Each structure stands twice: as structure tokens, then as C-alpha cells.
Amino acid sequence: MGPLVACRRVPVMDVAPEGEFVSEVVAAPSQSDVPAGSGVGDAPFESVDEVVEALRGQGYIADTRLATTVYLLTRLDKPLLLEGPAGVGKTELAKMLALATGRRLLRLQCYEGQDETKALYEWDYGKQLMYTQILREKIGQVVADAPDLTSAVERIGEQDSVFFSERFLAPRPLLEAIRSPEPVVLLIDEVDRADEALEAVLLETLGEFQISVPEVGTFKAEKRPYVLLTSNNTRDLAAALKRRCLHLFLDYPAAARELEIVKSKKTGLSDALAEELVTVVRGLRELELRKAPSISETIDWARTLAVLGVDDLNAQVLSDTVSVVVKYDKDVKKALDALPRLVDPNAVIDEGHGHGHGHGHGHDGDHSHDEPAAPAPKPAPSTRPAASDDPDDGDVDGVAKRAGKDAPGRHGGIYGGLPGGTAPPPSQIRKVTPGQGSRSFGGSRKRPI
């Protein structure tokens, strides 16, 4: 006889007086009494290969690593945590496992700010209130001869188990999976979106396959469910949660397996075009996109092209339908730029856009498209000494050329020079004293108020 555990209160209507409940205490089975496997005495799969074939029969293509993990899930009575990018088949695995094993699927969809009552259970307050109104006369009889208010409250308090019983308990997915008389598959989807408080609530369920309800007792699973948790890695999960689970990281599959998945979905696209499409999608995943195309989106793209009757995969038709797999504006622009190269790696892409901005792209900087540009004016003749263009003129170090560039009056009639390009005489050159320079550039002058 194993240790005693608290169990749920059950009504004994033919023994106990009306409205009273008794607590039934049963002995927990010892380890030798619990059959190995899923808790129901029989395992659905005899080998890893049988898992592969069972999932394939439901349209889910699993590799050996994934099938091995699923086989251990059914044998070790441990939850399975699946992590990886969105759209790689984590949720779909739970659905197909339920179909392959003939179990009912229960799903808890997690979200930010989720209350644990939405995952465990709630009290049906509306039903409790309705029963209170119906039984108002009976309640009045219970407190009719009470000498004072305190005694009346105590008498009503003695009957609180009537209204906090399984009759008024509204189970949510976790409690429903534990209480289910038939084995189920419990999917806790996107657990990384929930708050850390929900992770703490899950620890008892995942570790002992039981849920404690303070007003009623502890519910322990008679037939343990297969539990799968999924995470898109939007945040790190607690170590205590991971410790209670088998773990598998699902990434995008290899090209051959992804092509096999697309073919298995019978999208209507020919095998040759499906192979080209998978190559294009894998090329898009190599871009720095905010969200890479998932396997399910690849299947949607294949179905889209089949509906359009596409028989030639070219850059134009892919550009027209790329929004099926790329969902953000900046990602669409990157995808449109890359599609011609992904369809034909030898294609020459014209990157010119017809405008000249003077950025060194071979543009002339002219934005006038209606009138031809006026010819540039000829430069005025310079009076500076002409330097020889002959590299063999003997001026190896360029001393003479630099001296010619420093000749006075080289700027002609501008920059303070006299007309005709001659330099002014020294008597007409005004000298600036150090004091004038400091007053001009030193910032000592005050601005007018």
C-alpha cells in the first residue's frame, strides 16, 4: 500500500444527509503497480520506425530525430517541449499525434497577461448565484431558529461545500486533461508568450500530472495525457519548466525533406516547379528578413501558383505573389530585389533608375527630362605658367608644377585680383593685424539685444 494522497470530494447522496459531502481518501499506487508507458497500460508505438509511418499516414513527414523524441514521449511519461521558429510544424505535430493515436486533442493557447484561471479552472459564479436564489427558502429554514447573526453565519458556513464542489467547477484545458476519463493529447501552444506566473502554475501539472483545487482537493490523472509545449523563442523559459520536459529544437528542414513535405500536401503544383519553389524560398530565408518564410507559407505559395495555373516559374509571377510568404514591407522590398537572382543566378540585373544624383553611379546629376542641358561655359584663359603634360619633362618630383600653381594672379579677375588677371601691387594690399583677426573671429563682439 503506497502513501495516502488527498483526492477529490465526491457526493454520497444515498449515505450522507442531503447537502453534505464526504472526502474519499484512496491509496496512491506504488511504482510496481503503475505500468510502464503512457499510464494506460499500452503504448501506441512499438518502435521509432512505427512512429515515422504513423505520422506519415497523417501527412506529417518526420525525420528520425523527431520520431525518436515522440517515441520517448509515449514511453517515459514526460512532457515534450518543442522550440524553434514559427511555422516549422510544432503545433501540427500535436494535431497529427492525436490523430495517429486516436486521442482527443485539448489545446491551451497562451498569450500575454493570461490569468491562470483560464488555464486551470474557474468557479461558475452565475450557476452558484442561481442555485442560491432557488434554494433561498431552504437556506431560510436552516437559519430560522438561529439565536443570533453569528450562529446563522456559522450554519451557512457549514454548508459552503455544497456551492464549492465539482458541480460548480468549470474546468479549463489543464484540469480537463487531468480529469478526462479517456487519454488525451494536451497542447500548450506558444508558452513563451505567457507570463512567468503561468509557468509556475504548470510545474505541478507537468511534474506530477495533478492539479490541486484548495476548495475540493487534488485531482490526479488516472490516464496520463501526452503533453506537448511549443515555444517560438520570444523569451527564455524557466529552467524548472525545461527540467520537467523532454526537449527538441525544430528548425527549417533540409531541402529534400521540405520538398517532400510540399509534395505530400498535394498542392497541385508540378514536382519540377515545386522543387524550384523550394529553392527560391530557401534563398529568401538567407536574406536578413524580419520574418523568414515558414514551411506552411511555402505550401500556401505552392497552392497559390497552382490556382493561377503557373507553368513557368519566373521572376514576374513570383514578384506578383511574394506577399504570400513575406509579410512586412521592408521584407517585400528585399525579396523583390533578390527574386530575379534566385530564379536565375546568371541573370544580369539593371540597377540603374534613370536619375543622376552625382553619387558616383555614372549619373550626371541632371534631373531635367524635358529640355537638354545647356553646354558648359568655356573656362577663361589662365595666366599661370603651363605645366608640361609630358611625363618625361624632367620634373620628376613635380616641383615646377606646384610652383606654377602658386603664381600670383592665377585666379584671374576674381578672389581680389585686378582685371586682366594681374596681381595688385603690394601698396594696395591691406594687411590684417593680429588684433583685428582676434576681434573678427574670436567671438568677442556682442549680439544686439
Contact 295, 319 (CB under 8 A): no
Spatial separation of the C-alpha atoms in residues 60 and 397, rounded to whole Å: 77
Higher pLDDT, 360 or 130: 130
Rounded Cα distance between 55 and 44, Å, is 12
Averaged pLDDT for residues 15-40: 36
- Please state which of the ranges 38-52, 74-88, 280-294 shows the lowest mean pLDDT: 38-52
CB 42, CB 186: distance < 8 Å: no
Cell numbers linked to 261: 513535405
DSSP 357: -
In 10 A of CB 314, how many CB atoms? 12
pLDDT at 346 over 80: no
| Residue bearing the bigger pLDDT, 118 or 70 | 70
Half-sphere exposure of 299 (CA within 13 A, CB side): 16
Cα 64 to Cα 59, 81, 367: the distances in Å are: 16, 17, 62
Q: Burial of 195 by CB count in 10 Å (0-12 exposed, 13-18 middle, 19+ buried)?
A: middle
Higher pLDDT, 183 or 126: 183
Query: What pLDDT was estimated at residue 342?
Result: 92
Tell me how far apart the alpha carbons of residues 215 and 211 are, in angstroms, rounded to a whole number. Answer: 12
- Domain regions of the chain by residue span: 48-122+171-249, 125-168, 255-343
Residues 6+ apart with CB under 8 A from 349: 340, 341
pLDDT score of 432 = 55
Distance CA 186, CA 228 (A): 6
How does strand 226-231 pair with strand 80-83?
parallel
Tell me the C-alpha distance between 101 and 88, whole Å.
22
pLDDT of amino acid 296: 92
pTM: 0.62
Q: pLDDT of 253-283, one tens digit each?
A: 999 999 999 999 999 999 999 999 999 999 9
Distance between CA 328 and CA 389 in Å, rounded? 58
- pLDDT for 435 equals 57
Q: What is the pLDDT of residue 367?
A: 44
Please tell me the distance from the alpha carbon of residue 381 to that of residue 383, in angstroms, as a whole number.
7
> Residue 213: what pLDDT?
82
Burial class (CB in 10 A: 0-12, 13-18, 19+), 92: middle
Select from 178, 170, 184, 186 the least CA-distant residue to 222. Answer: 178
* Alpha carbon distance 209, 220 (integer Å): 6
pLDDT at site 78: 92
CATH number corresponding to 48-122+171-249 = 3.40.50.300
- Could you tell me what percent of the chain has a pLDDT over 90? 42
The answer to whether the beta carbons of residues 79 and 206 sit under 8 Å apart is yes
